[in-house]
Structure 1
């Protein structure tokens, strides 16, 4: 894979407050350049949700109501997040979730396309018993020594997802092949289905 052929790409991850639909509590956006995550230009935000963080969610990511008490509300960081995301490609693990939540919070945002590392992993490694982020970390053993925070925080998970994406991309010769394997139908950037030939 020639990484110089890639368009601008951000690996994103979000953490929520545990409600349905969720309020955001953390957003991370990590550029991938030249086949490497670029922490120097990454964006990361903590935000106080309108509704309290549920005990279950707090146990998962560690972002309690106390931790978030003095953080800005979504309205205060929304424009900065929107500016960071721009209109470039994004990648995420189980990307439907991140795309849906970000779209709900940023109605005017429209990425160029959405790569899903979960979908890509199923295409790349069809015999794995599981495709969770933890399972792929175990399978691919990426170098996470430079990852910020810890597992289940948006910054860590975005970094891990970026490393996994780059490792799986090596199995594909071109960007178009990667897109065909990684973009879920119905999400931005999905290849159009070939039309069946007709008699008319």
Structure 2
């Protein structure tokens, strides 16, 4: 199972008004484990960022002036996300920008290249209705440090979201408890999350590990002058007569 946690920074809010992507950050997870195979690209948007956007990401026109354009890295980006599940916080925002950028290069929408797109914000709202579900709020809820997040950055935010996503969807928690003390909360404020073991990896012992285990059992047999309890537990049960 390959998942890509991704985020963008942009010059403004709407690609229909000519706004462009200035930063792409992607974090790769395979079987719910970070591989370290990340993608991080700054882009020259050929325009200034709106003052409000610049205040969020701090990427000035001067800094971006010598960076590649999206058309220069489109092949690299498409290859990186190929066949993966893409996960983003408020995914519709990022998807509309990628679709606009891909269209400028004569390519189809982002869904043509990935398996599916998942919105972690919608997932968080389903788990914690009536609560704040921004990335910062979720970091606080799950005890993930974001003290180094003074400005938004696509790679940093993707790394934080990857930690949040794993915490928010961990299959070993059959019961997630988050008490909502707001006046408008309904019920008892306890959120139940369905247990899903499909994403848990199955690790088989190697031949060397099995040999080492057998050596350990042999030492236990010797210590008890017979058969150790472990072997008795592993012995097949006889069928009833």
Could you state the TM-score of these two structures normalised by the residue count of structure 1? 0.75
Give yes or no for the alignment of 1:123 onto 2:126.
yes
Q: 2:28 touches 2:37 (CA, 8 Å); kept in 1?
A: yes
CA separation of 1:61 and 1:24: change in aligned 2, threshold 3 A: same
Structure 1 residue 144 displacement after superposition:
5.4
Structure 1 residue 19 displacement after superposition:
5.6
Structure 1 consecutive aligned stretches of length 4 or more whose deviation exceeds 4 Å = none
Structure 1 residue 160 displacement after superposition:
0.9
Rounded to whole Å, the distance in 2 between the matches of 1:46 and 1:53 is 14
CA separation of 1:56 and 1:143: change in aligned 2, threshold 3 A: closer
Structure 1 residue 24 displacement after superposition:
0.7
Alpha-carbon deviations, 1:76-131, whole Å to 9, x = none?
A: 11111111111211000011111221122224332211111111111122242x11
Q: Which moved more, 1:90-99 or 1:101-110?
A: 101-110
CA separation of 1:143 and 1:33: change in aligned 2, threshold 3 A: farther
Give yes or no for the alignment of 1:139 onto 2:161.
no
| 1:72 aligned to which of 54, 60, 68 | 68
Q: From the CA coordinates, give the structure whose radius of gyration is larger.
A: 2
CA separation of 1:141 and 1:33: change in aligned 2, threshold 3 A: same
Structure 1 residue 150 displacement after superposition:
5.5
* Unaligned residue ranges in structure 2 (runs of 5+): 171-192, 200-241
Give the secondary-structure state (helix, strand or coil) at the position aligned to 2:122: helix
Give yes or no for the alignment of 1:158 onto 2:158.
yes
Alpha-carbon deviations, 1:46-98, whole Å to 9, x = none?
A: 01002222222111101110110111111111111111111211000011111
Aligned 1:85-104 pairs, distance under 5 A? 85-104=81-100
Give yes or no for the alignment of 1:25 onto 2:22.
yes
Give yes or no for the alignment of 1:37 onto 2:39.
no
